[in-house]
Structure 1
């Protein structure tokens, strides 16, 4: 019996040694950092920063784990429920609500240093705030912009907009018509996923769509302000023939061959698409970045920044927060932004000269950073189901001309509120 008891005691010590410190028998803590970086420059920047951390922190090592934007929500849900979530989680703020309310993510209050908290504007923190908690650090963001064929703009003699003097939505529609004809469209709208693009751009016209009452319950109300952007797209496709109906089912990358061939004069895209254009554009192709049109609320538009969160089940939240502080120092945040061709959220990082050059129109995008606001659907529970089952098919049918504005409004409100009601009981 004594030998069996001794065996159990030794086995228990061995087991404790294996589980302490993230599974390292020598007491070294290992943090798993799941990154969704996919562009070569971005992956390289993330891995280099991990190497720099590991070189100076022998007792807290970070293991880089590659994730994918295509499957991150389901993959994270499975790992949370299975108790195998990474310590540090890269995601987007509009994907955090269910995880935050579900108790899977750590509230970062009390974990983050004051430098990091004060270095990012409150409007950015609002994108990762759910209830009374902060469940992610917003660190990268991108405005939607117009990528234009500069030669075609010059030939048409149209006024070129700037962040200081943008086009209005009416002027944009008129100029799209001027740039059309002879087998060319003034604009190509890649709206395979139409909801976020529509709602985020509608902030410029005062659109909100989601309205909270005094008890915090959310109701969908499609007002005249919400209708400006979708009506513009609809009319360009179905009345003006200045936008191609064929691109409505495309993703942004799908429109680039036609853009390079002169079939489309402008394409509304995320700011990071500049990298693909630099890599793929034929020699001599002259392109430029224009701000998205402005409405009653100016250049405001919604964004869902990329975020870094800490798993609630992580046994090393303090060390994970220290790594986040290192990763998101201003100079490091700039490195991550340049690698992803996006903008940092940090106010100090945004001042970096590398983000204010005319090369590849970095300066145009950086000038829009102060106009970025939390996406309208940011904290709406049930939004993914509302988007997939109600809003996406309704917008797709409206943009194609299959239904009118009144039916679009009815479906977004009537059917949409039935969906959201299930999440607010």
Structure 2
């Protein structure tokens, strides 16, 4: 018999309780869920709320939070999944999501969406990469579209207005640089690291210029827009206008009031709220003032490997995440966009005007994953990341490097299409 559950009100609560409570008849399960996000206070607070709700409804089933470092997380997780010994819940960014689906590594989550009373068309646009042949293989824990986060106090102290175009932005970055205070006007890629980081940190700028590494599955590395974006990134690096640190250190510098603008997701506001009241109270946000006006988004999906020991319990945990009160908590606690459309409380936006820029960005943002080649993202990072670092740190000519990169990517696509 099929149980139809209304998405709102009492019928949803009763439907979830019935569906989730059935697990107790098969014996208690302990859902293994490793993630770096258990070590981040806002994310951990939200996840613990979901865990407690799940355990309340599940007649003995529990979740085992496993806090692990971010560094090396995706490589280790993939090795375990491929070896047939995965955790019960995996965390996936957009390209990993597409890659896992292509390789047939994930369990469809359709029946768990039905338990939660959520249909696929109610899921946010970020789920495009998580749906194949009408089946949903991942649910967004959070989506973080990129907008320009601004410390309004630093701009006011420097007599600078929020920039509305590229020339104003460059002038503002220059004026906000204050060596005596170790203060910077902006952050972009400025330290060598994993290839994925080079790709991820530059993607919002490249897309903002109207460029991209791929369009509809075809390489566009040497497009005029991509070249212009790399020239901007190189200029602010060479001119000493960005701190030479990795992105995590830069996030802390923004929180500490030493970086004035940062193209980043709304999650950073949650960190600032916990750590620096002055920064938090002076936060503003706007769409990055780049000529292409295209926003990028990064989504953390939750999925269930088809080799997991406790697939059903893991799926029901994800169904719990989809409850309306949990979806609203993603906004209130984590300050990110939730999985289900219409879950952003109007009162939150009223109280936090800066969030409006992220909602606007999220309405039309595209995934930072290579368009049309998302499932090959991890391989593509390893081609593009080193080329970006050659340009920034070894002064390779931008146009020549991107011409060579274009040829390498064309060969990569031809080889994939031939298989």
**Band the TM-score falls in, shorter-chain normalisation:** 0.7 to 0.9
Offset, 1:295: 4.0
C-alpha distance in 1 between matches for 2:248 and 2:80: 30
**CA deviation string 1:142-188 (max 9, x = no partner):** 13333434333124433325xxxxx2233312322333466554323
C-alpha distance in 1 between matches for 2:281 and 2:310: 50
Q: Go from structure 1 to structure 2 and tell me whether the alpha carbon gap of 1:345 and 1:173 turns closer, same or farther (over 3 Å shift).
A: farther
Q: Go from structure 1 to structure 2 and tell me whether the alpha carbon gap of 1:26 and 1:149 turns closer, same or farther (over 3 Å shift).
A: closer
1:194 equivalent to 2:198? Answer yes
C-alpha distance in 2 between matches for 1:401 and 1:81: 36
- Per the alignment, residue 269 of structure 1 pairs with 264
Q: How does 1:17-416 map to 2 (within 5 A)?
A: 27-30=26-29, 32-36=31-35, 37=37, 38-58=39-59, 61-68=61-68, 69-109=70-110, 112-113=113-114, 115-121=118-124, 123-129=125-131, 133-160=135-162, 167-180=164-177, 185-192=184-191, 193-212=197-216, 218-238=218-238, 241=239, 243-244=241-242, 246-247=243-244, 249-254=245-250, 256-257=252-253, 260=256, 262=258, 264-281=259-276, 287-298=282-293, 300-314=294-308, 320-358=314-352, 361-377=354-370, 379-388=373-382, 390-400=383-393, 402-416=395-409
Offset, 1:196: 1.6
Alignment: residue pair count: 383
**CA deviation string 1:57-85 (max 9, x = no partner):** 317x2423425333332332333234332
C-alpha distance in 1 between matches for 2:296 and 2:142: 14
SS at match of 1:142: strand
Offset, 1:105: 0.7
Going by fraction, where is helix more abundant, 1 or 2? 2
CA contact (8 A) 1:88 1:310 kept: yes
Offset, 1:321: 3.6
SS at match of 2:118: helix
CA contact (8 A) 1:126 1:374 kept: no
Say what the alpha-carbon RMSD is for the aligned residues: 3.4
Offset, 1:391: 1.6
C-alpha distance in 2 between matches for 1:135 and 1:415: 31
Q: Go from structure 1 to structure 2 and tell me whether the alpha carbon gap of 1:270 and 1:252 turns closer, same or farther (over 3 Å shift).
A: farther
**CA deviation string 1:11-55 (max 9, x = no partner):** xxxxxxxxxxxxx99732526251522212322332232222222
Offset, 1:357: 1.8
User: TM-score, with normalisation over the residues of structure 1?
Assistant: 0.77
CA contact (8 A) 2:322 2:339 kept: no
Offset, 1:305: 0.7
**CA deviation string 1:214-259 (max 9, x = no partner):** xxx6434431122332222222333xx3613x52x52232464488
Q: Which stretch shifts more, 193-202 or 107-116?
A: 107-116
SS at match of 1:188: coil
* Unmatched tracts of structure 1, length 5 or more: 1-23, 162-166
Tell me which structure has the larger Cα radius of gyration: 1
